[in-house]
């Protein structure tokens, strides 16, 4: 019989490195829950935009941070994200939200609120969970059983992203990614960073299947060592 101890896996890295695709597949293969923390930051950003909060005013964002109710469904086969009962899976992927999410997620009150949600979801996952984001290994779940930090060249990441956004050209996608990485890496409160004990995987020349296999093997090794 497999160990019944829940396993906690943290997967961090910049945009387009394969965090979501890898995390979902690994969680599905191993029977674990899955949490996309970027979707939570996008959801609170969507709410701020829809409620007329000035994104350039951190104190206005901080004052509103506790208002929206954000609920994440953690089934890797069908992850969901609701804000005040509204399914926002589509609206949180617009260019407008993407361009504003770094400013909203830099506000400490927003991070405190979302981090608490993330920790409570991780603690209640019966078989364990794969949590992906920017600060999971460093701040949200520093005691995770396994930490992975995914990287890839800006060119590979931009090509992957513009393949998804029909009509978007690779050059402007690359510029937007680099700008968002810089904002996420330089903010004061829990920036995008590799934890000292994270395993770094450069996915530039790997297929998605190879990355999934690599992470599944690392989780199984950890479990066997328990």
Ligand X SMILES: Nc1ncnc2c1ncn2[C@@H]1O[C@H](COP(=O)(O)OP(=O)(O)O)[C@@H](O)[C@H]1O
- Show binding-site residues for ATP: 13-21
Is 199 within 8 Å of 147 (Cβ atoms)?
Answer: yes
Binding site partner of 18, from ligand CDP, ligand X, none, Cβ cut-off 5-8 A by kind: ligand X
Q: Give the three-class secondary structure for 72.
A: strand
Q: How far is the CB of 101 from ligand CDP (least distance, A)?
A: 4
Determine contact, residues 113/66, Cβ cutoff 8 Å. yes
Q: Which among ligand X, ligand CDP, none contacts residue 184 (Cβ within 5 to 8 A by kind)?
A: ligand CDP
- Interaction of residue 135 with ligand CDP, rule CB under 6 A: yes
Q: Which does 102 bind (CB under 5 to 8 A by kind): ligand X, ligand CDP, none?
A: ligand CDP
- At 132 the three-state DSSP class reads strand
Name which position in 87, 96, 126, 164 contacts ligand X (CB under 6 A): 164
CA distance 107 to 58: 6
Q: Looking at 133, 137, 198, 219, which residue binds ligand CDP (CB under 6 A)?
A: 133
Entry field: residues in the chain = 226
CA–CA gap between residue 141 and residue 32 (Å, rounded): 16
Q: Does 15 bind ligand CDP (CB under 6 A)?
A: yes
User: What is the size of the binding site for ligand CDP (CB under 6 A)?
Assistant: 15
* Binding site, annotated residues: 13-21
Question: Which of 34, 41, 46, 149 forms a contact with ligand CDP (CB under 6 A)?
Answer: 41
* Distance from C-alpha of 184 to C-alpha of 46, rounded to nearest angstrom: 18
Q: Shortest distance, CB of residue 205 to ligand X, whole angstroms? A: 8
Give yes or no for residue 180 binding ligand CDP (CB under 6 A).
yes
CA–CA separation, 86 vs 75, rounded Å? 18
According to DSSP H, which parts of the chain are helical? 19-30, 37-50, 58-64, 95-105, 108-123, 154-164, 170-186, 208-224
The residue ranges that bind ligand CDP (CB under 6 A) are 15, 37-39, 41-42, 101-102, 105, 133-136, 180, 184
Residues that bind ligand X (CB under 6 A): 13, 15-21, 160, 164, 203, 206-208, 211
């Amino acid at each position: 019989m497999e160990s019944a101890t829940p396993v906690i896996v943290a997967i961090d890295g910049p945009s387009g490195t394969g965090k979501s695709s890898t995390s979902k597949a690994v969680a599905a293969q191993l029977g674990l829950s899955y949490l996309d923390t970027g979707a939570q930051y996008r959801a609170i950003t969507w709410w701020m935009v829809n409620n007329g909060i000035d994104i350039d005013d951190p104190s206005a964002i901080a004052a509103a941070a506790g208002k929206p109710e954000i609920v994440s469904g953690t089934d890797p086969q069908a992850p969901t994200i609701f804000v005040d009962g509204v399914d926002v899976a589509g609206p949180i992927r617009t260019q407008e939200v993407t361009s504003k999410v770094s400013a909203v997620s830099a506000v400490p009150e927003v991070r405190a609120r979302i981090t608490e949600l993330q920790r409570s979801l991780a603690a209640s996952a019966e078989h364990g969970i794969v949590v992906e984001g920017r600060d999971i290994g460093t701040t949200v779940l520093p005691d995770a059983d396994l930490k992975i930090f995914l990287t890839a060249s800006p060119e590979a990441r931009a090509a992957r992203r513009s393949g998804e956004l029909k009509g978007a050209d690779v050059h402007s996608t690359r510029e937007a990614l680099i700008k968002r990485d810089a904002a996420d890496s330089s903010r004061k409160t829990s920036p995008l960073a590799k934890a000292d004990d994270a395993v770094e995987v450069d996915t530039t020349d790997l297929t998605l299947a190879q990355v999934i296999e690599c992470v599944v093997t690392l989780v199984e090794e950890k479990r066997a060592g328990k």
